[in-house]
Homo-oligomer: A and B are copies of this chain.
């Protein structure tokens, strides 16, 4: 068989297995996940040995120390993967929930019931823990899953997926419900993206270039998130101390992630005092500020911002900053430059808080809170499969429920249409 034929077979088998997954009770799915967690721990030495092959290859290829650290598994990290699976097992099962039911004039009872999506394809890079995290979320929500990890983690991923598949087989669940595509060439991705007959949705996790490649080549709907250009707007009525703490947290607590702050907007009425204040605070923390003209009149040492800065996801200790004409100016700037990820207003004004919540249509809109909370776990979804910055299907952080859809259910007693 060619690579294309093998991938088509994997996808077709996953579709068939998805029917069995959709029928599994919550209890059976939870027991399966708990056994998978135990199996990972019992097989930790094997996983660590395989991981060492990836690490050796990575060193040979000259991966950075940070990359090698992301790739590395030891027994503590395997324990962490098992704990994450157990957390998913403890979450409520979304499948079968009837989200509403109503009676029609002809006595038909009509409702909507939550069902799995079917087969979910996950395309990801480096961290091998995604293999078990994503598998647990997809299986718990009654789906089959086709995984395609990066070449740098192939030995680790094959080992982890193999251990998890054994648990499916032990319970007489078709082990095709969890498949890892073993081809590390690009062809492995492009062929997977052609299986629209068998795979319902693709969720890519990784850098912007991976995601753009997937979107460009996929015939399957993609739920995606290119980048997070998160804004904080400091309203005229903001408490300066609260604003300072939130901005420091949002920009510096972990600058390399998508929910970190990238652009600060300041109400013109307080710019005279707030701009010098926050410039000093952030400079002391080694944050480079890139301001518009109005900002730089009040903080002359700031770098001049260019048009590119308003689009930039720095993922670094750099912050663009602009003085805006109140709520209208802030909302206009956000509508123009937002990546639809997360925006927050710092305000003491009731009406402005409500207007910001109502009129800013990003995936997560906040009042008086750090953008760093924009994360499935932090928002209470229990676990996160990804974030969507496109509005179709799901918008914002995605949990178990976002791996399901709803069907209409209709109970009659012989009704026909007049």
Contact = CB atoms under 8 A, between A and B. Distances in A.
Contact of A363 (B395, B408, B414): B408
Contacts of A108: 369, 373
Contacts of A242: 413-414
A410 B369 contact: yes
A63 interface: no
A96 B319 CA distance: 32
A413 B370 CA distance: 10
Interface stretch (A109-117, A166-174, A284-292): A109-117
Contacts of A367: 410-412
Contacts of A407: 361-365, 395-396
Contacts of A397: 408
A117 B340 CA distance: 12
Interface string A310-351: 000000000000000000000000010000000010000000
A366 interface: yes
Given A110-B379, A396-B408, A408-B379, A369 B221 contact: no
A414 B239 CA distance: 9
Contacts of A66: none
B221 A365 contact: no
Contact of A245 (B113, B358, B365, B416): B416
A359 B416 contact: no
A380 B414 contact: no
A395 B406 contact: yes
A96 B102 CA distance: 22
A369 B223 CA distance: 35
A410 B379 contact: yes
A253 interface: yes
Given A22-B359, A380-B104, A391-B405, A364 B416 contact: no
A408 B245 contact: no
A378 interface: yes
Given A246-B416, A369-B414, A410-B379, A221 B390 contact: yes
Contacts of A414: 239, 242, 245-246, 368-369
A417 interface: yes
A201 interface: yes
Interface string A216-250: 00000101000000000000000100100110111
Interface residues of A, number: 68
A23 B239 CA distance: 28
Interface string A129-168: 0000000000000000000000000000000000000000
Contacts of A183: none
Interface string A367-395: 11110111000111000000000111111
A332 to B, nearest CB: 9
A392 B223 CA distance: 9
A35 interface: no
A94 interface: no
A223 B391 CA distance: 13
Nearest to A415: B369
Which 9 A/B pairs are nearest by Cβ-Cβ distance? A369-B412, A249-B416, A372-B417, A366-B410, A393-B393, A242-B414, A364-B408, A391-B405, A368-B412
25 contacts: A19-B335, A23-B359, A110-B380, A115-B361, A117-B391, A118-B361, A200-B391, A221-B221, A245-B416, A249-B416, A353-B411, A357-B411, A364-B407, A364-B410, A365-B408, A365-B409, A366-B412, A367-B411, A367-B412, A369-B411, A369-B414, A370-B415, A370-B417, A391-B405, A396-B408
Given A23-B358, A242-B414, A373-B410, 7 more contacts: A104-B379, A104-B380, A118-B391, A200-B392, A246-B416, A364-B408, A370-B416
Interface of A: 19, 22-23, 96, 102, 104, 108, 110, 113, 115-118, 200-201, 221, 223, 239, 242, 245-246, 248-250, 253, 335, 344, 353, 357-359, 361-370, 372-374, 378-380, 390-397, 405-417
